[in-house]
């Protein structure tokens, strides 16, 4: 099939596009042309790249038409963050595409309530990112039910893999936390370290997109989580990372207001977002409807990223 991927040069696309090419699809990657994939792959030589500035072209009303004119049987949108943007692309593709797949986020759920959280759980997002993604999901699924728009939504957790810093045991992306655990230094965690994070390897997200394409009839009109099968407490995560370096984690615990004063405002905000959500999402639906199981545990996914940080010299054991 002819597959158009919008924003295919990032975390997910690094793995998704080679998988699509390997499956025999004709692939068109639409991007700003300013980023190389995180991991080189020969499959990119068979990919047609279309350079486009989504924000500018949406402003002048040309982006949706441009995507539609690429005549993709399947369109995968990895970089849609506003409801208005989702409405425009859906309007342009209605009646012209066999399958439209949108990349959402588990942040549509807001704080965890009853865990593991299923796709049917009540939406209570907070923050602009989660609120907009939930609005996009609601609009696209309504169009699926009302007009037969062939959409599937994939909600990843904390995407990780070689090439970038993963969410760390303090709930932010400061590599210093990994460095301290690697060298045996003391690490302070907020509260009692019992909040959770839930990573997913970028390749597992890519696999789920491909599995949804392969099981279109079961996937259309549905949302699916894409996370590792289990979540990690901050404390357990820190202890595991220290163990990779032959260390025993030296942890202290501080009340939130005291802890936030020990880090930058940027790090504090990221941590707050992660611990307030404390995700623990279920993968049962993807297995039941699509036969999909993540290949990586949370720790396996993070371990690959940490190994890359060591090789890059960012972490010095």
Domains of the chain: 2-159+199-226 (3.40.50.720), 163-197+230-279+296-311 (3.90.25)
Query: What integer pLDDT is reported at residue 69 of this predicted model?
Result: 97
Which of 130, 151, 129 is CA-nearest to residue 139? 151
pTM over 0.95: yes
Average pLDDT over residues 178-188: 98
Q: Determine if residue 313 is left, alpha or beta; phi over 0 gives left, psi from -120 to 50 gives alpha, anything else beta.
A: left
Q: Using alpha carbons only, how large is the chain's radius of gyration in Å?
A: 20
Burial class for 69, CB neighbours closer than 10 Å (0-12, 13-18, 19+): exposed
Band (33; pLDDT cuts 50, 70, 90): confident
The yes-or-no verdict on residue 187 having pLDDT over 90 is: yes
Q: Which of 33-47, 116-130, 159-173 has the lowest mean pLDDT?
A: 33-47
The yes-or-no verdict on residue 182 having pLDDT over 90 is: yes
Is 77 strand, coil or helix?
Answer: strand
């Amino acid at each position: 099939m002819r597959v158009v991927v919008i924003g295919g040069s990032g975390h997910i696309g690094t793995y998704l596009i080679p998988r699509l090419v390997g499956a025999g699809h004709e692939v068109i990657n639409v991007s700003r042309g300013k980023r190389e994939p995180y991991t080189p792959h020969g499959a990119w030589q068979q990919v047609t790249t279309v350079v486009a500035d989504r924000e500018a072209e949406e402003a002048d009303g040309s982006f949706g038409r441009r995507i539609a004119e690429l005549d993709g049987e399947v369109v995968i949108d990895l970089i849609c963050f506003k409801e208005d943007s989702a409405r425009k692309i859906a309007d342009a593709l209605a009646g012209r595409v066999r399958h439209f797949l949108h990349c959402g986020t588990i942040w549509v759920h807001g704080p965890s309530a009853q865990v593991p959280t299923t796709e049917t759980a009540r939406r209570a997002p907070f923050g602009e990112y989660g609120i907009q993604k939930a609005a996009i999901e609601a609009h696209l699924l309504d169009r699926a039910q009302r007009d037969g728009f062939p959409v599937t939504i994939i909600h990843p957790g904390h995407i990780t893999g070689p090439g970038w810093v993963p969410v760390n045991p303090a709930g932010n992306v400061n590599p210093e936390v990994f460095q301290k655990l690697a060298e045996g230094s003391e690490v302070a965690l907020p509260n009692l370290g019992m909040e959770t994070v839930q990573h997913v390897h970028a390749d597992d997200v890519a696999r789920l997109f491909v599995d949804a394409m392969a099981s279109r009839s079961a996937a259309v009109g549905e949302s699916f989580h894409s996370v590792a099968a289990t979540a990690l407490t901050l404390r357990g995560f820190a202890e595991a990372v220290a163990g990779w370096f032959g260390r025993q984690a030296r942890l202290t615990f501080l009340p939130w207001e005291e802890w936030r004063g020990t880090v930058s405002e940027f790090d504090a905000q990221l941590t707050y977002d992660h611990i307030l959500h404390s995700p623990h999402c279920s993968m049962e639906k993807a297995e039941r409807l699509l036969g999909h199981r993540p290949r990586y545990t949370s720790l396996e996914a993070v371990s690959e990223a940490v190994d890359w940080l060591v090789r890059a010299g960012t972490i010095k054991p």
